[in-house]
Amino acid sequence: AGTGKFFVGGNWKCNGTKDSITKLVSDLNSATLEPDVDVIVAPPFVYIDQVKNSITPRIEIASQNSWTGKGGAFTGEISVEQLKDIGCKWVILGHSERRHVIGEDDQFIGKKAAYALSEGLGVIACIGELLQEREAGKTFDVCFQQLKAYADAVPSWDNIVIAYEPVWAIGTGKVATPQQAQEVHVACRDWLKKNVSAEVASKTRIIYGGSVNGGNCAELAKQEDIDGFLVGGASLKGPEFATIVNSVI
Ligand code: G3P
């Protein structure tokens, strides 16, 4: 960790029930969390209100997606205004599951990012390569192309955290080595320096996601350019998520 305040997000994905979420929130409320860390959880939309009304204000809420513009006749979508209305401060965009399972493309994601930022939400902007892209030596190309789509769409990087999540590491138990993650984070920072500005490169937090757990977080957190984590499976367990938050160094 080396840039800005350590940032740890828990992406609960499409998991949980009213009961399991009540228990998770109560575990998080009683956990000891290092003060100098931004801690965020992203519940499924339908439980955001429940979580917001029961979780410690120490933990901020993100949504797992948002619509590209103002609400209206968009069946099944949730607007940024609605998310703000129920207390969200952040939105996760460009997650690999949205890209590769649902089929969202760079341009659509860029549009959502620009709109969310214009309305004052922070954006957790995900990028990451597929296994075959890594094996073909295209990791940097893919990440740079995804970064460029954000850069082309957004007017400012002030409220963006980049989440590097190699797709082959998500939900697989196959975490990137600290060196593999660090290598991509440095390359992305360098890309920001060349293509956005030196200031943005030095200030933007780049967090890692993909099979982070209580056992591997400390080694990853030691890397200079890993500024936090986006956690899936392990964020569903309060004490383990707290361990990851507290891996800040
Ligand atoms: O957004 C977090 C994520 O995709 C990583 O999931 O379950 O591998 O920690 P997981």
Q: Cα(16)–Cα(12) distance, rounded to whole angstroms?
A: 8
Residue 107 lies in a domain: yes
- Cα(144) to ligand 1 centroid in Å equals 21
Domain residue limits at 235: 6-245
The number of the ligand 1 atom at minimal distance from the alpha carbon of 96 is: 4
Amino acid 2: pLDDT: 84
> Residue 221 phi/psi, 5° resolution?
-65, -20
Q: Total structural domains in the chain?
A: 1
The number of the ligand 1 atom at minimal distance from the alpha carbon of 213 is: 9
DSSP 8-state class, residue 210: S
Give the tens place of pLDDT for each residue, 116-169.
999 999 999 999 999 999 999 999 999 999 999 999 999 999 999 999 999 999
Give the tens place of pLDDT for each residue, 60-118.
999 999 999 999 999 999 999 999 999 999 999 999 999 999 999 999 999 999 999 99
> Residue 126 phi/psi, 5° resolution?
-90, 145
Give the tens place of pLDDT for each residue, 32-63.
999 999 999 999 999 999 999 999 999 999 99
Return the CATH number at 132: 3.20.20.70
Residue 109 lies in a domain: yes
Q: Cα(10)–Cα(28) distance, rounded to whole angstroms?
A: 11
Quick check: 219 pLDDT over 90? Answer: yes
220, 170, 35, 178 alpha-carbon torsion, rounded to 10° = 10
Quick check: 249 pLDDT over 80? Answer: no
Q: Could you tell me the pTM of the whole model? A: 0.98
- Cα(194) to ligand 1 centroid in Å equals 29
Q: Cα(46)–Cα(38) distance, rounded to whole angstroms?
A: 23
- Cα(173) to ligand 1 centroid in Å equals 10
Q: What is the mean pLDDT of the chain?
A: 98
Half-sphere exposure of 205 toward its Cβ, with a 13 Å CA cutoff? 22
Residue 231 lies in a domain: yes
Ligand 1 site residues (CB inside 6 A) read: 11, 95, 165, 170-171, 209-212, 230-234
Residue 127 lies in a domain: yes
Residue 1 lies in a domain: no
Q: Which two tokens stand for residue 182?
A: 């660090």
Amino acid 229: pLDDT: 98
From 7, 8, 12, 13, give the residue whose CB has the most ligand 1 atoms within 8 Å, as the site to mutate. 13
- Cα(148) to ligand 1 centroid in Å equals 23
The number of the ligand 1 atom at minimal distance from the alpha carbon of 211 is: 8
Residues that are catalytic: 95, 165
Quick check: 1 pLDDT over 90? Answer: no
Residue 168 lies in a domain: yes
